[in-house]
Amino acid sequence: MRFDLILRVGAKLVLPFILLFALYVQFHGDYGPGGGFQAGVIAAGMVILYALIFGIRAAKQIAPPAIVEMMVPLGVLLYAGTGMAGIFLGDNFLEYTAFAHDFLHAHEWGIFTVELGVLITVCSTMIVMFYAFVERGRS
């Protein structure tokens, strides 16, 4: 698709806004519809769109498979680690109360980190799945 100028320029214009929208959905999850899962899928959608237009090789340069594969367990680790942090601070598993002085504030922090973990894992899982589909039958 090297000569599809409109497609390439159009995509380049849209790509940053897709990522921005993903982050909006991520951080706005407390107040409106959204959260880590939806944001992760949208962010992965950006990489997938990039791969569709510029080719899988270019996509692998902005999202190297080795790093993306590491991100899958990393997000879960962040989630589970947040849970363990509650235990180390003297509370129960996944209890956020000790994260800040104020109860609500502490829970905002707790949910923020947990949702960040969800974002990382969902996003990287989508990309890994896409890579796996694209490479089917190539090697």
| Residues found near other proteins in the complex (CB under 8 A) | 70, 72-73, 76-77, 80, 83-84, 86-87, 91-97
Q: Which two tokens stand for residue 69?
A: 């594969």
> How near is the Cβ of 87 to other proteins at its closest, in Å?
5
Considering beta carbons, is residue 64 or 73 the nearer one to other proteins?
Answer: 73
Alpha helices, DSSP H, located in the chain: 5-27, 36-54, 56-62, 65-88, 103-134
> How near is the Cβ of 33 to other proteins at its closest, in Å?
22
Considering beta carbons, is residue 23 or 70 the nearer one to other proteins?
Answer: 70
Residue 119: DSSP 8-state: H
Give CA–CA dist 33/38, Å, rounded.
Answer: 9
CA distances from 67 to 63, 73, 102, 120 (A): 7, 11, 37, 11
Considering beta carbons, is residue 25 or 118 the nearer one to other proteins?
Answer: 118
> How near is the Cβ of 130 to other proteins at its closest, in Å?
19
**Cα-based torsion angle of the residue sequence 17, 23, 28, 32 in order, rounded to the nearest 10 degrees:** 60
> How near is the Cβ of 85 to other proteins at its closest, in Å?
12
Considering beta carbons, is residue 17 or 93 the nearer one to other proteins?
Answer: 93
